[in-house]
């Protein structure tokens, strides 16, 4: 395992739409393992593949001591709203309040391609939405535009 370099917001890769994962092989597993080590080294709540330069629809979240590997996610239900302080490992040292759903249900597959449905509230819901946005080239700062 190795710690990967995290790209910052100036990098155009972070503003691109990622492609679905089709191969559930050692390349993917190594990427996920390296992303986990990278996330743990930064004490972040989540990390998406494009943040380490890989335009694939995969992210990890580490919330309330639960660790999830989320591949090819689809948010199938949201409800409520919350507005809490948010940061991003690709925008170091900055934080802002972002409005997100209070509850989400997301369908995805794990590293072996097994289908999983996960529901999350509050911080987990926010982390899932934040990381899912990364797969569509959206940073939380994009959600603040025009909100001054």
Active site residues: 131
Whose Cβ is closer to Co ion: residue 70's or residue 88's?
88
What residue has token string 């239900």? Answer: 77
- CB-CB contact of 6 with 92 (8 Å): no
Three-state DSSP string of 29-71: HHHHHHHHHHHHHHCCCEEEHHHHCCCECEEEEEECCEEEEEE
**CB-wise, 88 or 124, nearer to Co ion?**
88
Residue number, nearest CB to Co ion: 88
The minimum distance between CB 113 and Co ion, in angstroms, equals: 25
Query: Burial level of 25, CB count in 10 A (0-12/13-18/19+)?
Result: exposed
| Nearer Cβ to Co ion (32/88) | 88
3-class DSSP state of 27? helix
Residue 76: CB minimum distance to Co ion, A: 22
Among residues 54, 53, 59, 55, the alpha carbon closest in space to that of 71 is found at 59
Binding footprint of Co ion on the chain (CB under 5 A): 88
Shortest distance, position 87 Cβ to Co ion, whole Å: 8
């Amino acid at each position: 395992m190795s710690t990967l370099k995290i790209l910052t917001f100036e990098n155009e890769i972070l503003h691109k739409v990622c492609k679905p994962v089709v191969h559930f092989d050692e390349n993917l597993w190594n990427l996920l393992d390296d992303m986990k080590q990278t996330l743990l080294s930064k004490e972040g709540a989540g990390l998406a593949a494009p943040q380490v330069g890989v335009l694939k629809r995969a992210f990890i979240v580490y919330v309330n001591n639960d660790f999830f590997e989320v591949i090819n996610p689809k948010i199938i239900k949201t409800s409520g709203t919350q507005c809490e302080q948010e940061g991003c490992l690709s925008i170091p040292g900055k934080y802002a309040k972002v409005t997100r759903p209070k509850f989400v249900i997301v369908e995805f597959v794990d590293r072996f391609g097994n289908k999983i449905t996960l529901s999350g509230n509050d911080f987990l819901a926010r982390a899932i939405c934040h990381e899912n946005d990364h797969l569509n080239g959206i940073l939380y700062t994009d959600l603040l535009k025009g909100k001054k």
